[in-house]
């Protein structure tokens, strides 16, 4: 369904905020999961990024539900701000990180001129959000690690995780929400029977 009216309604702001707040709490909790699983990835530390995609879901879900310019950026950034306020182990650095990640998804939806919200759009949004995350981490968190044995595999696996979890997972979550009726005031609800 095409969405030619880019003006945000009050319900768009409210629902985008709910998505962001819900994922902000998930972000905080996922940080605990990340820390708890470090030992499981001691054999190849970059493989831990296979869990990364959860942190990128609000950008994709927000874009798929709201379907207006800025939705992906808004949801990812507000979720990052909330996780910082809740005491993220990475502190305030997650805020600019959330901006960069949200921009990735925003670019994907913009590439489709905010008119296509099917699986390919979601996968591209996930991949570009992952690329944003990978680039941020490449230059901020991983700058002192080895290039070929850590940083490059880390970046590639982040994009894979983002494409699968945030892209495909975000698309599946949006469709599942649409089937419940909670998105009836959004175009996503009209696609509940489409594959």
What is the SS3 assignment for 93-134?
A: HHHHHHHHHHHHHHHHHHHCCCCCCCHHHHHHHHHHHHHHHH
Confidence of residue 4 (pLDDT cuts 50, 70, 90): low
Q: Tell me, what's the pLDDT at 105?
A: 97
Q: Tell me, what's the pLDDT at 192?
A: 52
Round the average pLDDT of the chain to a whole number and report it: 92
- Which domains, ranges and CATH numbers included, belong to the chain? 10-191 (1.10.1760)
Please, what's the largest Cα pairwise distance for the chain? Answer: 50
pTM: 0.92
Confidence of residue 88 (pLDDT cuts 50, 70, 90): confident
> What's the average model confidence in pLDDT over 50-62?
96
């Amino acid at each position: 369904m095409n969405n030619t009216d880019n003006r945000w309604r009050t319900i768009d702001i409210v629902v985008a905020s709910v998505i962001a707040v819900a994922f902000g709490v998930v972000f905080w909790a996922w940080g605990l999961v990340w820390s708890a699983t470090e030992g499981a990835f001691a054999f190849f530390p970059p493989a831990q990024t296979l869990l990364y995609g959860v942190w990128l879901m609000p950008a994709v879900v927000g874009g798929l539900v709201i379907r207006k310019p800025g939705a992906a950026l808004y949801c990812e950034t507000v979720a990052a701000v909330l996780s910082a306020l809740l005491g993220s182990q990475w502190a305030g650095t997650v805020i600019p990180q959330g901006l960069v990640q949200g921009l990735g998804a925003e670019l994907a939806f913009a590439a489709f001129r905010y008119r296509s919200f099917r699986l390919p759009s979601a996968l591209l949004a996930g991949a570009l959000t992952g690329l944003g995350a990978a680039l941020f981490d490449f230059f901020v968190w991983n700058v002192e690690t080895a290039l070929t044995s850590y940083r490059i595999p880390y970046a590639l696996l982040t994009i894979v995780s983002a494409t699968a979890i945030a892209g495909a997972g975000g698309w599946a979550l949006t469709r599942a929400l649409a089937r419940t009726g909670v998105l009836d005031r959004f175009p996503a609800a009209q696609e509940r029977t489409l594959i």
